[in-house]
Structure 1
Amino acid sequence: MASLRVGRRMLSAAADTAAAPVPSSRWDRLKNSKAVRWARGLLSDYKEACRDIVVGSWERPVKASVYASLLGGSLACFYTKPDHASFEATLLECSNTLGLLSPWIRNGTSNGHVQTLVKLHNEGRLQHTSLGVLSLVHHSDYDPDATLYEAQCSSLSTRWRELPRRILDVGFVGRWWVLDSKMKDYDVNEDEFKHLPPHMQVTAPPTVQEVERSERLHKESWLALEGGEEEVEKSPVNRKEESVGEEKPTPA
């Protein structure tokens, strides 16, 4: 019984082989190859996926809009992400800006942060890391090009868990946010006003009444002054004549 089944299978396989068309050319053999069949299946899968995306977007427009916005925002952040050369240019510009000011009017926070970055840059310890949609600038213990054992040994390299406390700046949508915040009011030295009373150290924008009063005083300053009659200064000779005239004796 088993031998009969095996015989039937062999006969059916031979019939299928005889019925299968023999490729007549190299092009036919290429179309029936495994690589072409795999490519056809892949294209068919992508076609079905695209069709499902279009149908799903038509059925759920709000969800599709949210996904499209996220995708577009991610692409915009990726292409506007600042690089290491941008950070060096921004740092040089900030350093030159502070260099044009007198040391007495420089902001201590701005000057200290920029001087620290310049020192690390000169030592070759500033490192740049790209995270796709944003960039990070952090400092290392040694210059990567140094030939010291501590700088070249991979076992002594900086661990990823130590990266957050080494971050110096974050680049996002074309800006370096920490450096920009440190350079705010870079020409205001707060140490000059620390001896003043607390109520004089805090400034507030002027009110509407103060602005109107300032404008009124400014307009009044352009008006001509109204002067009175000028008094003629009497000389000592005239005063003497008047006193003599007043002291004439009366007739007896």
Structure 2
Amino acid sequence: MDPPPLGMETPSLLWYHPLSALRWFRPVRPPLSFPLGRGGSARSVTGSVPPGSLPVMAAAAAVGAGRGLWAWMAGTRLGRWCRALVQDYAAALRETAQGARQRPVASALAAAALSGAAACGASVPSADSFEAAAVEAAGSLLLLSPGTRSPGAERHVQRVLRRREAGRLRYRDLLLLAVVYEAPRGAGAQLYASRCRYLRPRWREAPARLLDVGFCGRWWLLRRRLRDCDVNEDEFLALPPRLRRLEPRQLRSEHNERLFMEKFEPVVLSAEDAAAEETA
């Protein structure tokens, strides 16, 4: 095969890679090229190459061409930037591990706090779970007679269901917990009062609009309202204040259990009691 004419150099595979047109993929150093000038003498772009160094340069080019795409990308600007980024992160991890060995107690507390925060963030309840909990609470109240339902629990559940039917429930995920509150109007309302930012509810009205707080997979306000939902508090309004509230120890005390069991025992009269009954 005839040698190429002078000025028609044989391009290197590395220099003419398809990605070399991009700025971030431009090689840092141009690879070697081995053109052959007239008369069989070795030439390069910059000048003449001694004939004895041609085999060494050819071997170096063969090694560079066999490195592959990843090795070529390591020499680009993007590759250098990624290498520096990995080195920075590795140095930060080494310093963190060294600090954890020096202060194990503080490191354990920090790790526990981060783990707890991650667990809370992963268990934040969704808006669908709140609607399901509200419907389930309404079904639980329907199983009770109107005379034994808790008025507070019934009012809270009915308020939530009415806001749900009107489309006035709003759900916000706050990363570690979730809140559900009521809006003045539905989401599709196009009234001026619902669109004007000067007529929006104030921050001081937020506690009154709050309906529930979701944390650790539960809705706590709804759960609190449904506690003792089968006890009607209005029945005990006529009692003195000291009798309206019972402590847990009074409900399951040993004395009450003993009195409850004694009512099933037969009545035994002694001789004195029998004589008193006869004389009476």
Aligned to 1:208: 254
Residue 5 of structure 1 is matched in structure 2 by none
Q: Which consecutive residues of structure 1, in runs of 5 or more, have no partner in the other structure?
A: 1-19, 227-252
Q: Could you tell me how far apart the structure 2 residues matched to 1:84 and 1:46 are?
A: 38
Shift of 1:60: 1.1
Q: Return closer, same or farther for 1:59/1:189 CA change in 2, 3 Å cut-off.
A: same
Aligned to 1:118: 161
State the TM-score, normalizing by the size of structure 1: 0.71
Task: Quote the Cα distance in structure 2 between the aligned partners of 1:21 and 1:83.
Answer: 55
**Equivalent AA in structure 1 for residue 223 of structure 2:** D
Residue identity opposite 2:265 in structure 1: E
- The letter of the residue matching 1:32 is G
Distance in 2 between the 1:90 and 1:21 partners?
Answer: 66
Correspondence for 1:70 among 106, 113, 122: 113
Write the distance in 1 (CA, Å) between the matches of 2:129 and 2:139: 15
Distance 2:73 2:236 in 1: 84
> What is the match of residue 95 of structure 1?
138
Paired residue type of 1:212: R
Aligned position for 1:179: 222
Q: Distance in 2 between matches of 1:21 and 1:105?
A: 86
User: Which residue is 2:20 aligned to?
Assistant: none
Structure 2 Cα separation of the partners of residues 22 and 123 of structure 1: 70
1:208 partner letter = E
Cα deviation for residue 160 of structure 1 reads: 5.7
The aligned counterpart of 2:79 is 36
What SS does the aligned partner of 2:176 have?
coil
What is the CA-CA distance between 1:176 and the residue it aligns to? 0.7
Output the TM-score relative to the length of structure 2: 0.64
Asked whether the equivalents of residues 108 and 189 of structure 1 are also in contact (C-alpha less than 8 Å), the reply is yes
Does the aligned pair in 2 maintain the 1:144–1:152 contact within 8 Å?
no
Match of 1:147 in 2: 190
SS in 2 for 1:105: coil
Matched position secondary structure for 2:190 = coil
Larger Rg: 1
State, as a whole percentage, how many aligned pairs show the same letter. Answer: 35
CA gap 1:29/1:156 in 2 versus in 1, 3 angstroms = farther
Flag the 1:162–1:190 CA change in 2: closer, same or farther, 3 A.
Answer: closer
Report how far residue 68 of structure 1 moved. 0.7
Q: Alpha carbons of 1:87 and 1:53: their partners in 2 closer, same or farther (altered >3 Å)?
A: same
What one-letter code is carried by the residue in structure 2 that aligns with 1:209? Answer: H
Match of 1:22 in 2: 30
Q: 1:190 to 1:219 in 2, by over 3 A?
A: closer
**Alpha-carbon displacement from aligned partner over 1:20-52 (angstroms, at most 9, x marks no partner):** 963246957643322111111100000001111
The DSSP-based 3-state class of the residue aligned with 1:220 is coil
RMSD of the alignment, in Å? 2.7
Q: Which has the higher contact order (CA 8 A, sep 6+)?
A: 1
Q: Offset of 1:61 from its aligned partner? A: 0.8
Give unmatched runs, 5+ long, in structure 2: 1-27, 33-64, 270-280
Instruction: Please give the secondary structure, in 2, of the residue aligned with 1:85.
Output: helix
Between the aligned partners of 1:165 and 1:37, the Cα distance in structure 2 is 57
Which AA in structure 2 matches 1:109? G
> Which whole-Å CA distance do the structure 2 matches of 1:199 and 1:77 have between them?
40
Secondary structure class of the residue paired with 2:213: strand
Q: CA deviation at 1:88?
A: 0.2
Map of 1:108 onto structure 2: 151
Higher helix share: 1
Per the TM alignment, residue 69 of structure 1 is displaced from its structure 2 partner at its CA by 0.3
